[in-house]
Amino acid sequence: MSQSPNRPQAPAAQHSICVYCGSRSGANPNYALAAQATGQMLAARNWRLVYGAGDVGLMGEVARSAQAAGAQTFGVIPVHLLDFEVGKRDLSTFIITENMHERKKVMYMNSDAIVVLPGGAGSLDELFEVLTWRQIGLHSKPIYLLNTDGYWEPLLALMHHIVAEGFADSSILDFLTTVATVTDLEAALADYLGT
């Protein structure tokens, strides 16, 4: 059924990008620059940032730059990290969960794609959970590694080692898309989202 040309069209649904990244800034200043550029890119594309609601480290960098450029921001933080990660309460949406499991679930369910910036054990935990879910067929969302200055090279080598040693099929490597720059990330996301 076609709509009348005079009937107002509903606005297109906004896409949401989940960003996992460190609650520290890391040793290389390019990590913070890439986080800032990621936030600005999301805003320029009118994509909503979904992230861990912290105002520290790379988390804070990506959120503040996204906000400053006009992006919608959706933050999710467990109650026990409100002080440690300095919960950023001025986000468009600010959700407090009871635990880490709920945080990751809410972030995943409210996003169309996943981006992983440099980070530590927490970022790896988030990455491997969504990677495992993808491996066993629970979702088909793309997972992008922003490989700023080669940060993720050791992880990629480990993934190849896991496959070579028979602990995963080679298909697991196809579930991770590595991009070198925020420009490359934007192009990959735009291609996937069709925008």
For residue range 10-39, what is the model confidence (pLDDT) as tens digits? 344 589 999 999 999 999 999 999 999 999
Quote the tokens at residue 131: 């990677």
Lateral strand order in the sheet of 93-97: 93-97, 73-78, 48-51, 16-20, 113-116, 143-146, 176-179
What residues of the chain score a pLDDT lower than 70? 1-13
pTM here is: 0.91
What is the pLDDT, as a whole number, of residue 13? Answer: 55
Judge contact between 65 and 40, C-beta under 8 A.
Answer: yes
Question: How do the domains of the chain map onto residue ranges?
Answer: 16-190
Q: In which residue are the tokens 């990677």 written? A: 131
H runs (alpha helix) in 45-181? 57-68, 100-109, 121-135, 153-164, 171-174
The CATH classification of domain 16-190, taken from the options 3.40.50.450, 3.90.180.10, 3.40.50.720, 3.30.460.80: 3.40.50.450
Question: What distance in Å separates the CA atoms of residue 57 and residue 115, rounded to the nearest whole number?
Answer: 16
Give me the phi and psi of 78, to 5 degrees please.
Answer: -75, 150
